[in-house]
C-alpha cells in the first residue's frame, strides 16, 4: 500500500508539472503577437511566413521527401518489466539554404538551434533523447528503413538502434515561428584590413555611398567562407533579397526549453493543443492526488 501511495503522488506531481508547462506555453504564445518581418526589432517575436528554398533541395533519409531541413534521430529502445528506456545514439540535423518570406521581407532561421535533447524520464535522467523544436512532416520507422549508404555513413552505432524518427520542412510550407530576432552582423575585409561588424542596412547604406565596394569580401558567422560583397546586395529586382534578420533561440532559454519553435500548424491550433494538454494533465493530476490522499488515509 505504501508503494502504491507514493506512486500516485509521483504521478500527480508529474501531471501537475506537465499541466504547468503546457499552461505557460499557451500564455507565451498568446503574449507574443505576430509581427511583420519589415517591422522586426531585436527581441522575442512571432512571425508567419512561407518557406523559400535558396539552395538545392535535400532528400530526407527516412521518408525520402524533398525538403529544406530534416532532423533524423536513431534511438535505442529497451524495456525491463514495466519500465521502458529510450536513448538517442545518432542524430543527423541537416538543412539547405532557405528563408521565410511573409511578403514584406525575408528572415533566416538558425537551424542549429532547433536541435535539443531531454532526459528520457525521471527513472533514467542520464539517458538523453534527441528531437528538434519543429512541428513538421514527421515519419517513424526503424534503421532498416534507411538506405544502405545512409546506414554506413551513420557509423557502427546504427546497429545498436531499433527506432528511428524524422521531422522535415518542405519548400512552400507555411510556418509559424516563435523565437528571438537578431540582426546579422556582417564583417568586411578589404585587402586584409577588416571593418565592422555592420548591420545589413548599414552595409547597403555604405555601399550606396561607394564607401564599400563590390570587390570587398563579406562574412557573417552563419556562412562558411568569405564572399564578394556583391553576392549580398541585390543588383536587380530579380536577385533574391539577402535577409537582414535571423531567428535564433532566446538567450535565457532553459535546459528543457530550446528557446525557439517552428511549426507548420497555425498559432491558433498550437494554442488550442496547449490549452487542451494543460486541462487534461491538470485533471489527471487531481485524480492522482485524490487517489494518493485516499491511499494515505487507508495506510494510516
pLDDT value at residue 23: 65
pLDDT value at residue 3: 67
pLDDT value at residue 77: 85
pLDDT value at residue 300: 67
* Series of mean pLDDT values for 10-residue runs along the chain (300 residues): 69 71 62 83 92 94 96 88 81 93 92 85 66 94 92 88 95 94 90 88 88 89 78 66 87 81 76 71 78 73
DSSP per-residue codes, 197-255: EE-HHHHHHHHHTTSS-TTSEEE-TTSSS-EEGGGTS-SSTTSPPPPSEEEE--TT--S
pLDDT value at residue 14: 74
pLDDT value at residue 202: 87
Amino acid at each position: 500500500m505504501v508503494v502504491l501511495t507514493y506512486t500516485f503522488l509521483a504521478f500527480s506531481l508529474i501531471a501537475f508539472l506537465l499541466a504547468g508547462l503546457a499552461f505557460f506555453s499557451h500564455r507565451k504564445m498568446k503574449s507574443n503577437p505576430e509581427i511583420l518581418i519589415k517591422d522586426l526589432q531585436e527581441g522575442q517575436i512571432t512571425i508567419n511566413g512561407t518557406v523559400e528554398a535558396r539552395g538545392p533541395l535535400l532528400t530526407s533519409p527516412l521518408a525520402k521527401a524533398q525538403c529544406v531541413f530534416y532532423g533524423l534521430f536513431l534511438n535505442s529502445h529497451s524495456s525491463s518489466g514495466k519500465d521502458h528506456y529510450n536513448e538517442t545514439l545518432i542524430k543527423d540535423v541537416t538543412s539547405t539554404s532557405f528563408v521565410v518570406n511573409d511578403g514584406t521581407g525575408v528572415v533566416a532561421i538558425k537551424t542549429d538551434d532547433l536541435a535539443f535533447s531531454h532526459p528520457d524520464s525521471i527513472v533514467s535522467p542520464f539517458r538523453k533523447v534527441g528531437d528538434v523544436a519543429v512541428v513538421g512532416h514527421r515519419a517513424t520507422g526503424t534503421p532498416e528503413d534507411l538506405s544502405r549508404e545512409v546506414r554506413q555513413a551513420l557509423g557502427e552505432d546504427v546497429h545498436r538502434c531499433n527506432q528511428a524518427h524524422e521531422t522535415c520542412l518542405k519548400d512552400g510550407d507555411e510556418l509559424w515561428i516563435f523565437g528571438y530576432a537578431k540582426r546579422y552582423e556582417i564583417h568586411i575585409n578589404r585587402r586584409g584590413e577588416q571593418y565592422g561588424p555592420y548591420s545589413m542596412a548599414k552595409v547597403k547604406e555604405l555601399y550606396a555611398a561607394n564607401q564599400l565596394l563590390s570587390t570587398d569580401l563579406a562574412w557573417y558567422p552563419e556562412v562558411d567562407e568569405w564572399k564578394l560583397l556583391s553576392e549580398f546586395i541585390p543588383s536587380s529586382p530579380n536577385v533574391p533579397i539577402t535577409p537582414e534578420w535571423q531567428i535564433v533561440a532566446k538567450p535565457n532559454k532553459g535546459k528543457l526549453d530550446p528557446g525557439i519553435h517552428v511549426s507548420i500548424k497555425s498559432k491558433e491550433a498550437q494554442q488550442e493543443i496547449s490549452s487542451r494538454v494543460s486541462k487534461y494533465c491538470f485533471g489527471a493530476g487531481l485524480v492522482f492526488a485524490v487517489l494518493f490522499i485516499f491511499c494515505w488515509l487507508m495506510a494510516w
